[in-house]
């Protein structure tokens, strides 16, 4: 294979992109690298199926605007991903496109066409001059229904419960949960259990653990090395971000039997992150504490939960008023 032929294959550029560009040139964290790799493990097989080729035979020109839009619609409509997730996938795709063009100018026209794919607009709120995305979260009844769904008489059910409870307790991102090691869980008999979480840009934060969260996790850490991942799949391999998405999706579907309102919501790991923040604020925690809990850089990002809390209170007042009026007429 000559140099020009090698340059035409997606695999050649994808390998360089992940091994050179993301970790070295962009100096991105391991979590970011893993996320981008996982995005493409969805995107490339989807395109390959559309072309009738194996993924390792795909050419750069097989990545078309039409196929990319079809993929984005697929993850939003068929997989139930949010608009924000859809836009994240597109950002990753465009990053790869720009990398290829910057190293192989012959793909200028291809890059131009791919760059025309628009981001999808997200509903936003304006709070004190800051534009913030609308937040999707679960109320207490829905969250309880979700936690009560796994069959804790089975090993898999106990694993599912431990993951769901950990996500709700800590409000971590899916990538942070997937990369969590046993050595990051800190506990003894004299103090509150803690977990050290490594987030965006390899920044770390410490989050308290409920005793029931620790008790749910401990059986799966016994006899294992501190460097090993806490959460494993049914095959004994570390869970991936997408494995966590699938675990959540599976349990949400079951939970709709006792909480039908869940059927109207798109629930992702980030939804549980929002849920944790909203419930923390409702419990009386100040916004700075929640900022530290979630690992937000900007306080403006966290301020959205105060607005959500006000909406929850307004809804409760309306229901109370309606009930009062109904009771008065009886």
Kindly report the number of other CB atoms within 10 A of residue 78's CB atom: 8
Sign of torsion over alpha carbons 309, 314, 318, 320 = positive
What are the structural domains, with CATH classification, of the chain? Answer: 3-116 (1.10.150), 140-319 (1.10.443.10)
Torsion angle of C-alpha atoms 73, 75, 77, 79, degrees rounded to 10: 170
Question: What pLDDT does 136 receive?
Answer: 78
Catalytic positions: 173, 200, 270, 273, 296, 305
Which residue has tokens 């769901």?
164
pLDDT, tens digit (0-9, with 9 covering 90-100), for 155-177 = 999 999 999 999 999 999 898 99
Residues of the chain with pLDDT under 70: 1-4, 122-135, 189-190, 201-202, 286-287, 296-330
Output the pLDDT for position 189: 64
- Per the structure block, which two tokens stand in for 262? 């869940």
* pLDDT for the residue 155: 96
> Residue 112's CB: how many other CB atoms inside 10 A?
11
Any idea which residue has 């391999």 for tokens? 237
Q: Which two tokens stand for residue 173?
A: 């991102």
pTM of the prediction?
0.61
Task: Write down the pLDDT at residue 327.
Answer: 37
- Cα 251 from Cα 138, distance rounded (Å): 14
127-153 in b/e form (b: 16+ CB < 10 A) is eeeeebeebbbbbeebbebbbebbeee
Q: Which long-range contacts (CB under 8 A, 24 or more apart) does 308-311 make?
A: 308/135, 308/137, 308/274, 308/278, 308/281, 309/278, 309/281, 309/282
pLDDT at 182: 97
Both structure tokens of 233: 């799949």
Are 265 and 138 contacting, i.e. CB atoms less than 8 angstroms apart? yes
pLDDT at 303: 53
Q: What percent of the chain has pLDDT over 70?
A: 81
Q: How many CB atoms lie within 10 A of CB 302?
A: 21
Instruction: Say what the pLDDT of residue 132 is.
Output: 43
């Amino acid at each position: 294979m000559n140099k020009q032929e090698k340059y035409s294959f997606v695999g050649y550029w994808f390998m360089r992109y992940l091994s050179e560009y993301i970790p070295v040139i962009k100096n991105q964290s391991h979590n970011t690298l893993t996320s981008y790799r996982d995005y493409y493990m969805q995107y490339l097989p989807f395109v390959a199926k559309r072309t009738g080729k194996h993924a390792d035979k795909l050419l750069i020109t097989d990545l078309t605007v039409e196929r990319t839009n079809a993929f984005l619609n697929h993850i939003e409509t068929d997989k139930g991903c949010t608009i924000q997730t859809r836009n994240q996938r597109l950002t990753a795709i465009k990053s790869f496109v720009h990398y290829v063009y910057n190293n192989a100018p012959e793909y200028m026209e291809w890059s131009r066409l791919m760059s025309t794919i628009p981001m999808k607009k997200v509903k936003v709120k304006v709070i004190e001059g800051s534009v913030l995305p609308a937040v999707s979260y679960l109320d207490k009844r829905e969250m309880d229904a979700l936690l009560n769904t796994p069959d804790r008489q089975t090993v898999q059910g106990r694993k599912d419960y431990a993951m769901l409870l950990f996500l709700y307790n800590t409000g971590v991102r899916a990538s942070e949960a997937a990369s969590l090691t046993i050595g990051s869980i800190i506990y003894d008999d004299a103090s509150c259990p803690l977990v050290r979480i490594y987030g965006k840009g390899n920044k770390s934060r410490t989050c308290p653990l409920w005793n029931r969260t620790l008790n749910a996790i401990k059986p799966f850490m016994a006899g294992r090395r501190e460097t090993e991942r806490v959460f494993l799949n049914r095959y004994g391999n570390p869970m991936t971000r997408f494995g966590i998405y699938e675990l959540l999706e599976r349990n949400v579907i079951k939970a709709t039997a006792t909480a039908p309102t869940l059927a109207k919501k798109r629930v992702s790991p980030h939804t549980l992150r929002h849920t944790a923040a909203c419930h923390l604020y409702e419990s009386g925690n100040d916004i700075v504490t929640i900022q530290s809990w979630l690992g937000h850089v900007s306080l403006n990002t966290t301020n959205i939960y105060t607005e959500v809390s006000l909406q929850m209170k307004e809804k409760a007042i309306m229901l109370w008023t309606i009930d009062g009026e109904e009771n008065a007429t009886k």
